[in-house]
Amino acid sequence: MRVVSGIQPTGSLHLGNYLGAIRNWVRMQDEMAQDGGQCLFFLADLHAISMPHVPADLRASTLEMTAALVACGVDPARSVLFNQAQVPAHAELQWLLGGTARMGWMNRMTQWKDKAGKNREGQSVALFTYPVLQAADVLLYQATHVPVGEDQKQHLELARDIAQKFNNDFCAADAPVFTLPEPIVPPEAARIMSLRDGSAKMSKSDPSDMSRINLADDPDTMSKKVKKAKTDPEPLPSDVAGLEGRADALNLVSIYAALAGISADAVLTQYGGQGFGVFKPALADLVVDVLGPIRQRFVELKEDRESLDAILARGAARAREIGGPTLKAAYDALGLIRG
């Protein structure tokens, strides 16, 4: 098994990232230690330049996100942790896959449609070809499993399509260059929604900071954000079916369930019939209990620039080694001469 996943170092890590993806990274890392597999996790800094950005902020966020991942439990001694920019093979393979990926496939990507909106002509080429780089990220390492939130599933399906077409077009049937990766989406926290709008996903790019709980928030702020989350005046029902049409309430119950490691129905068995005046303080305490210690480690680590640089340099060296043979095989398959 080879587990590969990435996160964009834009803004700070939030509860959606943690419950939707990073917690699964750590679980899979711990499983791999027993099963002899390998995990590679990276900061998708090359993806981050597909949108307007401030270079100094990107540099700072890349280090800060590295500290956040380590604080969450990603262990650089057991997993390969690096940033894309230190591994040129990502960009190289993206170009090689660009001959296989089709315009029509890119046009169907919902993230492209959402981010570009009505102004497609004004977007960067990188925003359009973003999913090809994401395919390169995982195919370079022969990833078998890719832990992500629901919103990234479509990009992973595209990576499979690109791999399959490349293998069909350029490889002998018994010697494919690429492995088809499997997305792993946590059922209990596939899509954590905004605290201000239960129909929009919790996101780093939401202009309202009250919409998300950041790992960097102090416990009082976390608690305040939960207590101010948008809800409705009804008490909680006794099962999940009763939350139909109540997206904000469903989101808070789902967050509770994911943090407590129980089902949403089990949460409602406990809180059914109660109002948010009771439920929100309980949820706020739970958020602080789980994220508080992670935040503490994060605050300590993020100032240690030397250690963070060393972690990324060591991870990148290892990633370059692991990705080398696949990159070479892709050049060869395409008939490109490379000494």
Catalytic annotation, residues: 115, 201, 204
Residues 6+ apart with CB under 8 A from 316: 82, 83, 86, 87
How far apart CA 265 and CA 246 sit, in angstroms, is: 15
Give, as one character, the DSSP assignment of residue 177. S
At 8, list the tokens: 């964009």
68 binds ligand TYM (CB under 6 A): no
Please give the Cα distance from 23 to 47 (Å, whole number): 22
In the complex, least distance from residue 157 CB atom to ligand TYM, rounded to whole angstroms: 12
Output 83 or 100, the one with its CB closest to ligand TYM.
Answer: 83
Give the integer Cα–Cα distance in Å for 18 and 147.
Answer: 11
Rg of the chain over all Cα atoms, to the nearest angstrom: 21
21 binds ligand TYM (CB under 6 A): yes
One character per residue 194-233, x = contact with ligand TYM (rule: CB under 6 A): -------xx-------------------------------
Task: Considering the complex, state which of residue 17 and residue 62 has its C-beta at the smaller distance from ligand TYM.
Answer: 17
What phi, psi does 181 have (nearest 5°)? -80, 150
Cα separation, 191 vs 149, in Å, equals 6
Can you read off the two tokens belonging to residue 76?
Answer: 């650089």
Strand partners, 14: 214
Find out whether 79 and 27 touch, Cβ atoms under 8 Å: no
User: Min. distance of Cβ 67 from ligand TYM in angstroms?
Assistant: 16
Using rule CB under 6 A, residue 291 touches ligand TYM: no
* Helix pair angle (264-271, 276-301), 10° resolution: 130
Residues of 214-223 as b/e, b for ≥16 C-beta within 10 angstroms?
A: bbbbebeebb
Restricting to residues 140-179, which ones interact with ligand TYM according to CB under 6 A?
Answer: 146, 148-149, 151-152
Q: Of 48-67, which residues contact ligand TYM (CB under 6 A)?
A: none
User: Does 100 participate in binding ligand TYM (rule CB under 6 A)?
Assistant: no
Strands 145-147 and 38-43: unpaired
* Total of chain residues touching ligand TYM, rule CB under 6 A: 23
Asked if 94 interacts with ligand TYM (CB under 6 A), we say no
Select the residue interacting with ligand TYM from 38, 66, 79, 134 (CB under 6 A). Answer: 134
Distance CA 203, CA 194 (A): 7
| Shortest distance in whole angstroms from residue 324 CB to ligand TYM | 19
Rounded to the nearest whole angstrom, what is the least distance from the CB of residue 96 to ligand TYM in the complex? 16
Interaction between residue 17 and ligand TYM (CB under 6 A): yes
* Binding test (CB under 6 A) with ligand TYM, winner from 47, 225, 280, 295: 47
Residue at shortest CB range from ligand TYM: 20
Residue 191 in the binding site for ligand TYM (CB under 6 A): yes
Provide the total of helices (H) and of strands (E) in the chain, helices listed first: 14, 5
251 forms part of the interface with ligand TYM (CB under 6 A): no
Q: Considering the complex, state which of residue 17 and residue 38 has its C-beta at the smaller distance from ligand TYM.
A: 17
The answer to whether 236 contacts ligand TYM (rule: CB under 6 A) is: no
Contact criterion met (CB below 8 Å) for 288 and 222: yes
Window of 98-106, 133-141, 172-180, 238-246 that interacts with ligand TYM by CB under 6 A:
133-141
Rule CB under 6 A: which residues touch ligand TYM?
A: 5-8, 16-17, 20-21, 44, 47, 134, 137-138, 146, 148-149, 151-152, 189, 191-192, 201-202
